[in-house]
């Protein structure tokens, strides 16, 4: 709005000329004073109208400019709001997608665990029934109306806990089952090192059962009693699944962790477990860079249609394979590569002391043959320095064995849901 000074100045601009016009009409044209005054008034009114028109034009332009600025500002705000709304929608979709994936992974895990635990409970039918005890008839005892008293001698004393070496097969079987049901499954890791630097590049995961008292149940112990009882497929599957669960947590803490995990023929042939296991791995394909599934040479050579289909299902998800317990060097490296085998483990004894017949691959040529087919050779069961010197003559680049490190349990802190640490290696329990 114009200031008062500007309004007075504008008024004088058309009033002063009007007075001059009236005075000039009287002085130069002999107008009647009244007529001259009327002429001046008309001129002042015309000037005022012209001033008003000009002012309205100026205000109209200013208003139009302000409207344009407001419109531009509103358009900018609208774009910002649209961008913000798009980002909110994107975040909501991402959160929902990640939540659904996480929940699906959890549900698939729960389904596998429930299935295995139910099957484990079903194996109780294999336990030996307690013998029937015949009770001889005796004279009837006259009942007393007095309340019964129970002496301390009527309550059987608790059975002392036995050590593993003192248990019979039935007791050991129950102990194994209880360890599995209570999730007393520990993961041990043994390093696979580069040669000659001896720097850890991979680990092999080894599962161990643990009793309530903390005693370890080694595979040689539980396999002896679990297999005759028909429990071995379930035991093998639970151990494999627990190994996968632990490796998933390790991978979250160490992006470079690579772990060999054994799968037996029991798992590959299990028509109930393996499809569930594949479904679980479909929701954990990020583990393909951390997990190398390992099979014995006997399992690979004896693979039928079912086992081969199981291998193909895992290979389709991007998982790599390793063949260990190699005793026969007559194998088709190209065929193994086509089946997604990327590692082969041969013991130091087989490499250095094995006897070779016609058709065998000599140790000196084995490494190069595998390399040409995209397979890495790992010499395992290395226990003496002399063996390291000898295998280096064959240009072996990877080794495993007690000489480089014994299997050690993963620390409990690693398995908890804690933020990833800065340590480059997977933390292991102290010796």
Could you report the per-residue pLDDT of 216-268, keeping only the tens digit for each? 888 888 888 887 777 777 777 777 877 887 788 777 776 677 899 888 888 88
CA distance 265 to 227: 13
pLDDT band at 271 (very low <50, low <70, confident <90, very high): confident
pTM of the model: 0.64
Taking CA atoms, 355 is separated from 327, 329, 359, 398, in Å, by 11, 10, 12, 22
pLDDT at 353: 78
Total residue count of the chain as it appears in this document: 431
Q: Give ∠ CA 350-351-356 in degrees, rounded to 5.
A: 75
Q: Which two tokens stand for residue 313?
A: 């299902």
Indicate the DSSP class of residue 255.
Answer: T
Q: What percent of the chain shows pLDDT beyond 70?
A: 68
CA distance 325 to 156: 50
Torsion over CA: 401, 388, 296, 263 (sign): positive
Structure tokens at 131: 């013998």
Q: How far apart are CA 314 and CA 317, in angstroms?
A: 5
Longest distance between any two alpha carbons in the chain, whole Å = 165
Backbone angles phi, psi at 154, to 5 degrees: -80, -20
Mean pLDDT, all residues of the chain: 75
pLDDT at 348: 92
The most confident of 155-159, 273-277, 289-293, 407-411, by mean pLDDT: 289-293
User: What burial class does residue 253 get, using C-beta atoms within 10 Å of its C-beta: 0-12 exposed, 13-18 middle, 19+ buried?
Assistant: middle
Question: In whole angstroms, what is the distance from residue 409 CA to residue 187 CA?
Answer: 6
pLDDT band at 134 (very low <50, low <70, confident <90, very high): very low
- What are 28-68's pLDDT values in tens digits? 666 667 666 776 677 667 767 777 777 778 788 888 888 88
Q: Which residues, in sequence order, are bridge partners of residue 358?
A: none
Give the per-residue pLDDT at 128: 34
- Is residue 188 within 8 A of residue 206, CB to CB? The reply is yes
Label the pairing between strands 200-210 and 259-262: parallel
Q: Give the model's confidence band at 148: pLDDT under 50 very low, under 70 low, under 90 confident, else very high.
A: very low
């Amino acid at each position: 709005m114009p200031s008062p000074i500007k309004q007075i100045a504008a008024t004088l601009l058309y009033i002063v000329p009007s007075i001059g016009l009236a005075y000039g009409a009287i002085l130069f044209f002999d107008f009647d004073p009244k007529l001259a005054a009327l002429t001046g008034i008309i001129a002042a009114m015309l000037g005022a109208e012209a001033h008003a028109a000009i002012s309205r034009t100026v205000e109209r332009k200013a208003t139009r400019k302000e409207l344009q600025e407001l419109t531009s500002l509103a358009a900018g705000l609208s774009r910002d709001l649209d961008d913000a709304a798009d980002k909110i929608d994107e975040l909501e979709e991402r959160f929902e997608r990640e939540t659904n994936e996480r929940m699906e992974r959890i549900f698939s895990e729960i389904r596998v665990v429930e299935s295995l635990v139910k099957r484990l409970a079903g194996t109780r039918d294999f336990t030996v029934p307690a013998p029937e005890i015949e009770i001889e008839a005796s004279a009837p005892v006259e009942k007393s109306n007095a309340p019964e008293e129970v002496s301390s001698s009527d309550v059987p004393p608790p059975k002392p806990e036995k050590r593993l070496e003192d248990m019979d097969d039935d007791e050991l079987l129950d102990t194994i089952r209880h360890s599995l049901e209570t999730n007393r499954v520990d993961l041990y890791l043994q390093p696979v090192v580069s040669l000659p630097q001896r720097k850890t590049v991979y680990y092999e995961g080894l599962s161990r059962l643990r009793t309530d008292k903390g005693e370890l149940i080694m595979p040689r112990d539980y396999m002896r009693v679990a297999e005759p009882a028909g429990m071995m497929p379930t035991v093998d599957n639970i151990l494999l699944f627990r190994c996968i669960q632990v490796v998933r947590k390790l991978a979250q803490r160490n992006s470079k962790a690579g772990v060999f995990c054994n799968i037996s023929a029991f798992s590959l042939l299990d028509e109930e477990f393996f499809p569930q296991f594949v479904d679980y791995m479909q929701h954990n394909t990020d583990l393909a860079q951390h997990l190398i599934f390992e099979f014995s040479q006997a399992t690979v050579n004896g693979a039928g249609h079912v086992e081969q289909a199981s291998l193909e299902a895992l290979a389709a998800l991007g998982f790599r394979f390793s063949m260990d317990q190699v005793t026969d060097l007559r194998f088709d490296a190209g065929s193994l590569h086509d089946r997604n085998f990327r590692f082969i483990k041969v013991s130091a004894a087989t490499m250095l002391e094995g006897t070779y017949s016609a058709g065998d691959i000599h140790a000196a040529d084995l490494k190069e043959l595998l390399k040409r087919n995209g397979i890495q050779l790992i010499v395992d069961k290395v226990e003496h320095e002399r063996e390291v010197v000898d295998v280096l003559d064959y240009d072996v680049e990877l080794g495993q064995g007690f000489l480089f490190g014994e299997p050690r349990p993963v620390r409990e802190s690693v398995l908890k849901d804690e933020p990833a640490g800065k340590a480059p290696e997977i933390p292991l329990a102290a010796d």
